[in-house]
Amino acid sequence: MDNQIVTIQTQPFEGQKPGTSGLRKKVKVFQQPHYLENFVQSVMNTISVEDRTTLVVGGDGRFHNDIAVQTILKMALANGFKKVIVGINGLVSTPAASHLIRKYNAIGGLVLSASHNPAGPNEDFGIKFNNASGSPAPEGVTNAIFENTQAINEYLISDMDAVDISDAQEIDLNDMVVQVVDSVADYTELMQSLFDFDALKQGFASGQLSICFDAMHAVTGPYAKSIFEATLGAAEGSVINAAPLTDFGGGHPDPNLVHAKELIDIMSQDSAPALGAASDGDGDRNLITGKGCFVSPSDSLAVIALNHRAIPQFKNGLAGVARSMPTSTALDRVAQTLSLDCYETPTGWKFFGNLLDAGKVALCGEESFGTSGDHVREKDGIWAVLCWLSIMLESNKSPESLLRDLWQQTGRSYYCRHDYEGVEGDKANQLLAELTDSLPTLAGTEVSGLMVKAADVFSYSDPVDDSVSNNQGVRVFFENGSRVVFRLSGTGTDSATIRVYLERVENDPQQCDEDAQEATKALGEIAKQLSKMEALTGMTAPTVIT
């Protein structure tokens, strides 16, 4: 097959700096001539010619995914890559992409997703580069990519026809092989190696286990159908909203109490299954719920750590655990109970990569509904659900009982996140700047009856490579153990979201039955007062509470 390589003249676009999860913009931004190509070429420019061996490509199937995949294939050929691994029809969940990178010893992968953001012609699209370990690129790499986007003046692309990626096959393009893989079968095989599928299958057959999994019309539908229904024997229809759609059915594929309302309604019924779960657009986030019982992501991570011996992957124990800074300190108390090292990192899964690669941790998670182990270098929604099923099977306990066990042993972190969405960028930045300026005088002051113990801006020094990440969020600690954290979201595409994290620690096992939103209500008012939220943004209440 004779394919002509074409050099296209271009010029830089503003704002192509990758955030915590890559480059995310509106579809119409990515549809601009040269926009996607500039970014892809900038990624490829950071990879030496001799290292351009195998590249993984795929995404969550949102609108523009198919066009972007074909563009990347043409550019990979033009830029001298020897092989590209791509999912059937360009569909690969984010954890599955991480696994493919590791399995095929790829130099990295281009993952096409805007995660939990809405999809469609007028909604969001995204792209990020994962390195050879399967982890989102560290800051050194993303900074190099950004520098390339600021200086780029040309890119290389082939004039070849679109490649047929509708079936698993190998396509020889002379200078490059395109290997189309069934990522669902591949990921299912990986999960079988990590969990006792025979025991879980018996649990479903006996009625001890049952599930409702909401795929939210996103990429995990086929994975969940393969694992929960076809392999483990869950009842047909246990996976709802299973067909992936380019606009996610017009929904918002963010697995939380607001957007997963259909699942929450099912789990509030008398006939609810033992476990309710949901995943997001690209399959890396998870929601866990029992019958009338919501499990916060922070508590979910802590429960998995406390009961890790029930999971075959961790049968030999945990090397250590890690959480993002805004995530509640429930994991810290479990780690102390189990004599495990516990690391606190900035928000962004890439910060766990070094710890995982160095063998310092085997389990990590974030409050934003992300949990995973050392099998991949991304958060993994279906994996987290399998962890819960394994723990429920061995303990013969419900999610609610497992939560109570956690609180009885280690105390409870009453925890809520308040999102103030759609804030003008300048106003959001002003709020954080003024709050930061007030920190030196906060310690020792009393705010609505609570004494401030300390206040700072979180900075992280990586214990593996000594890299430092500054300005990772504002923290205010109180004498009673409560904590409030402020940061701007790095996952939106326009305007800004101010995230406020509220944590109240209760060590008395007899005082662990309060509603989390009620228990943190006073902290929410203090947070608004400290940040001058209403005065600076005009907002009197959060738009979303999780």
Structure tokens at 175: 């200078």
CA pair distance 116, 341, nearest whole angstrom: 31
Structural Rg of the chain based on CA atoms: 23
Q: If you count them, how many residues does the chain have?
A: 546
Contacts (Cβ under 8 Å, ≥6 apart) of 140: 467
What is the helix (H) or strand (E) element at residue 356, kind and residue range? helix 350-357
DSSP tag of 291: T
Which tokens go with 381?
Answer: 């929604």
Alpha helices in 225-344 (DSSP H): 261-267, 297-306, 330-338
Show the 3-state SS of 120-134. CCCCEEEEEEECCCC
Q: 467-470, long-range: CB within 8 Å, 24+ apart, which pairs?
A: 467/138, 467/139, 467/140, 469/139, 469/346, 469/351
What is the per-residue burial (b if ≥16 Cβ within 10 Å, else e) of 501-516?
bbbbbbeeeeebeeeb
β-strand partners of 83: 54, 177
Q: Report how far residue 70's alpha carbon sits from residue 112's, in angstroms, rounded to the nearest whole number.
A: 12
CB atoms within 10 A of CB 411: 18
3-state secondary structure of 195: coil
Strands 321-324 and 363-366: parallel
115 included as an active-site residue: yes
**Residues 435/485, Cβ–Cβ less than 8 Å:** no
Burial letters for 43-67: b for 16+ Cβ neighbours within 10 Å, e otherwise? bbbbbeeeebebbbbbbbbbbbbbe
Helices (H), 46-179: 65-78, 94-103, 139-151
Instruction: Identify whether the C-beta of residue 279 lies closer than 8 Å to the C-beta of residue 242.
Output: no
Describe the chain by its helix, strand, coil percentages, rounded to 5.
35, 25, 40
Contact 458, 475 (CB under 8 A): yes
Which of 115, 300, 324, 413 is an active site residue?
Answer: 115
What does the alpha-carbon distance between residue 36 and residue 72 come to, in Å, rounded to a whole number?
9
Q: In the beta sheet, which residues pair with residue 488?
A: 498
- The 3-class SS string of 422-477 reads EECHHHHHHHHHHHHHHHHHCCCCEECCEEEEEEEECCEECCCCCCEECCCCEEEE
Active site residues: 115
